[in-house]
Amino acid sequence: MTSTLHDSHGSHDSSTTTATPVLLRHAPGRGTLGGVGLVLAGAVSVQFGSAFAALLFPRAGALGTVALRVTFAAVLLLAVARPRLRGYARADWAVAGGFGLALGGMNLLFYQAIDRIPLGAAVAIEVLGPLLLSVAASRRAAGLLWAGLALAGVFLLGRGGFGELNVAGVAFALGAGAMWAAYIVLNARAGARFPRLDGLAIAMSVAALVSLPLGVGASGGTLLEPGVLALGLAIAVMSSGVPYTLELLALRRLPTATFAVLTSLSPALAATAGYLVLGQGMSLSQCVAIAMVVAASAGAVRTGKR
């Protein structure tokens, strides 16, 4: 899944929403170029992580795969962040719990989507969630034009010959997009209440508690096979560990708006990963459709107030 249109799909972590003036930014030039490279590398890692996750579906199933990915990511974040658990009000825990439910729901629904439709199509549909959130937050007429362009792109995508673009897959991708939008809102609130990566570590733990029983129920002892565990750990590192680290480094070099525009490339990168790893070919009309969604996402970010 994406880390963030933030963070997505991503990705998405609470440290990017807090105390950004403290981060030391490099002067424009080499530092900016390096920041762009870090963002793109993180986005590539996320999308190829999703592609490799789809390869695990035949053995562990979609629910089992997301359970492994989220659980390993939670363990890694808890080990790195070592969040403080005392001194928080009930409202703080409510935000963290909601954040975790949104994070878990986003991953569960997205993995169900890519089990049914091509990866590029799933991300292009999913990105409608944060895009529409950006349009609503901007309250500008131009935002409606970008939303219209994105919807036209998704409509063209559905008519472009994706034989696997079934109704259930589209519905799951739309649900993942709604969860992504909720994730962004709750990510910001958690970042204001919890220091460093504490909010994200707690939320990922909640997501693991939600997804792990579903994965065990669906896949059983298969999740304990050494090969499955190894792939699950690799997917967690590619989809969570590497992107979060690279995004933190990138945000020290790039303005937040530039970072968000670069993450708008997620659908195109997902389509590329789907083609290279899963052999999911694309027609010219499908490429045009994904380009329309990417342009709409970038345009919505650029015209937003924040």
Q: At what angle do helices 119-126 and 266-278 cross, to 10 degrees?
A: 160
Token code pair at residue 223: 């999740």
- Residue 19's pLDDT band, with cuts at 50, 70 and 90, is very low
Phi and psi angles of residue 197, each rounded to the nearest 5 degrees, phi first: -95, 10
- Whole-number pLDDT of residue 159: 63
pLDDT digits over 25-79, tens only?
A: 444 445 577 888 888 898 899 999 999 999 999 999 999 999 999 999 999 989 9
**More confident site: 212 or 240:** 212
Q: Read off the pLDDT of residues 162-203 as tens digits, 9 standing for 90 and up.
A: 554 788 999 999 999 999 889 888 888 888 898 888 888 999
Alpha carbon separation from 17 to 1, 35, 88, 138, 287 (Å, rounded): 20, 17, 19, 18, 33
Helices 90-114 & 119-126 angle (0-180, nearest 10): 140
Amino acid making up residue 250: A
Read off the pLDDT of each residue in 89-99 and give the average, rounded to a whole number.
93
Tokens read off for 201: 């570590």
